Structure 1
């Protein structure tokens, strides 16, 4: 069963502008400006999968303007069962909800942010 864990990050996706998304040699870079016009740069290392969608697929209690880790992720489990990754490697399913503009899901080893 999937559960969500709110991430306490040093940035906010509330009223952010549409993000710029780049994949580079196994890493994934996301850049956007937050509601205060601060530049935010995110680095996901050793990315396995990502998806952007305009439709929000929210769990109970999940807000459309916050960032989460999805525990028990069926999407992550699908990648383990397909032997794309190993269950013990430490991959995580991250979800960034950009209210009104879309939802970004990423499977990666970790997430680092610079503001």
Structure 2
């Protein structure tokens, strides 16, 4: 069963502006303006898949305006089962909930805020 583990990010999704995305090769960059007008850029390294949707779908313990790692991810397992990646390579299923704007889900090695 999938479940969400909260990530303490050094940025806020609360009341942010609608995000944009740039994908180049295996790199994904998320850009948005936060609730105090600061431009935020988040870099995802070695991204193998991502999905943006405006429909909000939360797991049992998820909240809006928060970032999570999805544990026991079926989406991640599909990529492993199809030999796109291998178990143990360090990929995670990340989920960023932008309140009523939508959700971003990413399969990646990790992410960091660009400064």
TM-score band by shorter chain is over 0.9
Which runs of 5 or more residues in structure 2 are unaligned? none
Residue-by-residue CA offset, 1:28-67 (whole Å, 9 max, x unaligned)? 0011011111111100000010000011110012111101
Residue of structure 1 in register with 2:38 after alignment: 38
Question: How many Å separate the matches in 1 of 2:114 and 2:13?
Answer: 14
Question: How many Å separate the matches in 1 of 2:95 and 2:6?
Answer: 10
Question: How many Å separate the matches in 1 of 2:99 and 2:32?
Answer: 13
Question: How many Å separate the matches in 1 of 2:61 and 2:35?
Answer: 23
The structure 1 segments of at least 4 consecutive aligned residues displaced by more than 6 Å after TM superposition are none
RMSD in angstroms over aligned alpha carbons? 0.9
Q: Aligned residue pairs: how many?
A: 115
Shift of 1:25: 2.0
**TM-score between the two structures when normalised by the length of structure 2:** 0.96
**TM-score between the two structures when normalised by the length of structure 1:** 0.96
Residue of structure 1 in register with 2:77 after alignment: 77
Residue-by-residue CA offset, 1:9-37 (whole Å, 9 max, x unaligned)? 11011111011100012100011011111
Residue of structure 2 in register with 1:4 after alignment: 4
Which runs of 5 or more residues in structure 1 are unaligned? none
